[in-house]
Structure 1
């Protein structure tokens, strides 16, 4: 960017932080303008984020931070030229630069952790808006399998055709949906990215993949068509590439051409790279990961079930379970089923059983009402009200739930129970119906394991875990979802 462009950018930033009159002072570090504002609510964050030359906007340390990148010094000078040197603080600026240099020189382990957290945040942020839809679709497909298995519904009739389309659509067009949500999470263009998802999930491409055809060949190197229905990770990478490429194209393409030619370039380049290179590679890696997890859980059986069932909700407390969410999503997306999710399902059932014991045993009106609502929520697959509202406040109740889910997980692993959907806990029972054969051993294994989780979790909590004489522990805050991190 030229100097005159910095001046225009500076004018826009000053205007959108509330004007000169809203600025107390301004410093900068290596990459950010750091405003001290009188009233942050006056700042128009979305307007600033959408400016060419602005990477992001953050709020930290009492500062309103506009991330610029390597050109931060020039933009800072342009802003100070507008508002006046009385708003600058050279000593504080030097200190901020030193601070950010120190941060950049942190240990490799800390950098890896931050990078991993960001990576998990992008994946879960892309998946979080979709999981509920996929769970609902899985329940519908499970019910259809049950109805046709019991011959209550004909698999060739129009009713089945319509309901099956409703249940299948979220999975079939998952690349489009994930493209949209991933772009929203990354700050890209959701519509352009959704179109890229539509390109790789186009019916003729899927038909070519089904026939085992190649897109092209270079000597002995072949680029095959791949089916991307049910796929997740190829589109998340595509969304990232589209976001980066869009910014680069806008940096040199004249403004009057951007409306048409920016999406044209991005769709052509990212779709081609995804179809030829990244899509097939990531799909093969995802298939391998899902197969490896399934093999390890089937091989270790009851051991995995016991350990995962007993300790998974502890991971939830510390927010570490967000690293498991992509594994479950990958299982369902690549193989259509998940032994892992079948075990985790029992942790929801047992925590619900434990809080149900509190609801029945307690004579405290407020606690009874809270516990009844939390139990119903847990049996519907949402355990946060139970865990953070009651169970962790009375630690033995939480431990009772862990004991119950350890037993339920043990049985699930021992019987090699499988699951064909996202929806967990009791409401997720249709997800244990095999869509190919109907009700089989996995469904009855789920029934047995759930009964054990309910009985053990409830009994231990009722006898040992809770009494009205207990005092509540200090409230534990819910672990932050990296999907919602700034």
Structure 2
């Protein structure tokens, strides 16, 4: 899509969602424009779906989601320009966050309203850092590959080069509270710098040392309050960002203007850091680690059955954008225990949808289907399945089902072999994430990756080829979606 087309596409999108007056807020993730509309009923779903440059339209998590694909950032900028300067003031300068300060209508403020807001906060806090985490995982996997004894140990784990590159990869996880805090504050319209400083408190070397040794801060009634290690943590910082915003807003209203520049950050950092270290941090981190470890354990003991079920149905979550709720969980698993059996299964589902759309691209004699199919397959093999799902697979529903069948086969093998992932990046590009950095000689998870990926490729491709697609099929003009579980 050429740059000159963005403005035309933006005009069409804004018009079809009901115009500027119908748009409350707007954010974007890796592939979607996520509108908060005042009235979704006046948006023209079918017109948008049939627009060149738009892959699909989804209604989920309280958002009106327009699936664009890899060009979403450029289209987002054009849409913001089309909405006008007044609307642009509601957004961060880099276009990642939206003003969430407007109160919902009284009749919309039920429990599901707050669940949707929570999902939005987690998504807005994690989306900006996902790419960095994924890249770091690939680097760590490649380092593990280079230290394999089976390959002659091309690189020593004690060499200067290894330790330097390892520091580059580890920094994204080590200082994760700073990055997540900054992104969360930006999303919630707090002060990103003050929040990043609070993240810096949690990753300060002395605090880390005390946390690693569970040093006691103080005792009350025989109960010891201990320091914890917050490197690699996510959820405590998201709550800290909210506290910092609320305290900062209160101080701005109640402090004289000549005191705000110094005392607003001073009080905010002191109060929020203390609350996080003493109360909320230990509670949230304990619960998050417990949930992550429990799911890892559950996936392990369920073996082939859990792998087949999760593999067979995971990509259905992508239809609604609910897969973003799994991202922090996987990150918590990897940061806590260093591995994620869940992510190993998810990886195969990406390969399966890519193989299904690849079969369509090769079998079809239609130039537009071929072009879209090959591009979507490459995207899926690089870990982003939405162009494949919404561009081709869901429009020819049997293609999507063929991918799910391949995913179930892939998950079956991963579960049977108890495969793990030790990095974040999945699909074929994430092969290095299956090498265990703590035990380079252990190749069980890598073998599980090879066999499960092969099953995903072969099963999905063959089922699509012989059953899922032919050129006589008509693409669906509208894909009916189940209701968002958060709204049921």
TM range (shorter): 0.7 to 0.9
Q: Distance in 2 between matches of 1:143 and 1:134?
A: 14
Provide closer, same or farther for how the CA distance between residues 148 and 281 of structure 1 changes in structure 2, counting only shifts above 3 A.
same
How many pairs align?
Answer: 397
2:147 maps to what in 1?
A: 148
The residue correspondences of 1:16-415 to structure 2 (distance < 5 A) are: 41=84, 43=86, 46=89, 67=102, 100-103=105-108, 111-150=110-149, 151-415=153-417
Deviation at residue 225 of structure 1 after TM alignment: 1.1
Q: Distance in 1 between matches of 2:215 and 2:117?
A: 37
Q: Is the Cα–Cα contact under 8 Å of residues 134 and 424 in structure 2 kept in the other structure? A: yes
Q: TM-score, normalized by length of structure 1?
A: 0.77
2:61 maps to what in 1?
A: none
Q: Distance in 2 between matches of 1:57 and 1:122?
A: 12
Provide closer, same or farther for how the CA distance between residues 452 and 40 of structure 1 changes in structure 2, counting only shifts above 3 A.
closer
Provide the alpha-carbon RMSD of the alignment: 2.6
Provide closer, same or farther for how the CA distance between residues 469 and 40 of structure 1 changes in structure 2, counting only shifts above 3 A.
closer
The residue correspondences of 1:470-485 to structure 2 (distance < 5 A) are: 470-476=473-479
Q: Distance in 1 between matches of 2:206 and 2:163?
A: 21
Deviation at residue 57 of structure 1 after TM alignment: 6.0
Q: Distance in 1 between matches of 2:252 and 2:311?
A: 50
Unaligned runs of 5+ in 2: 1-20, 22-37, 39-81, 93-97
SS of the residue 1:231 aligns to: coil
The residue correspondences of 1:396-475 to structure 2 (distance < 5 A) are: 396-438=398-440, 439-475=442-478
Q: Distance in 2 between matches of 1:467 and 1:178?
A: 46
Q: Is the Cα–Cα contact under 8 Å of residues 318 and 386 in structure 2 kept in the other structure? A: no
Deviation at residue 404 of structure 1 after TM alignment: 0.4
Q: Distance in 2 between matches of 1:265 and 1:170?
A: 28
Q: Distance in 1 between matches of 2:135 and 2:85?
A: 40
Provide closer, same or farther for how the CA distance between residues 241 and 477 of structure 1 changes in structure 2, counting only shifts above 3 A.
farther
Q: Is the Cα–Cα contact under 8 Å of residues 311 and 345 in structure 2 kept in the other structure? A: yes
Provide closer, same or farther for how the CA distance between residues 112 and 103 of structure 1 changes in structure 2, counting only shifts above 3 A.
closer
Q: Distance in 2 between matches of 1:447 and 1:47?
A: 47
Unaligned runs of 5+ in 1: 1-23, 25-33, 50-55, 59-65, 70-98, 105-110, 482-486
Deviation at residue 228 of structure 1 after TM alignment: 0.6
Query: Which structure 1 residue ranges, 4+ long, deviate > 4 Å from structure 2?
Result: 99-104, 475-481
Provide closer, same or farther for how the CA distance between residues 190 and 248 of structure 1 changes in structure 2, counting only shifts above 3 A.
same
Q: Is the Cα–Cα contact under 8 Å of residues 296 and 342 in structure 2 kept in the other structure? A: yes
SS of the residue 1:424 aligns to: coil
Per-residue CA distance 1:251-280 (angstroms, 9 max, x = gap) = 110011111110000000001111111111
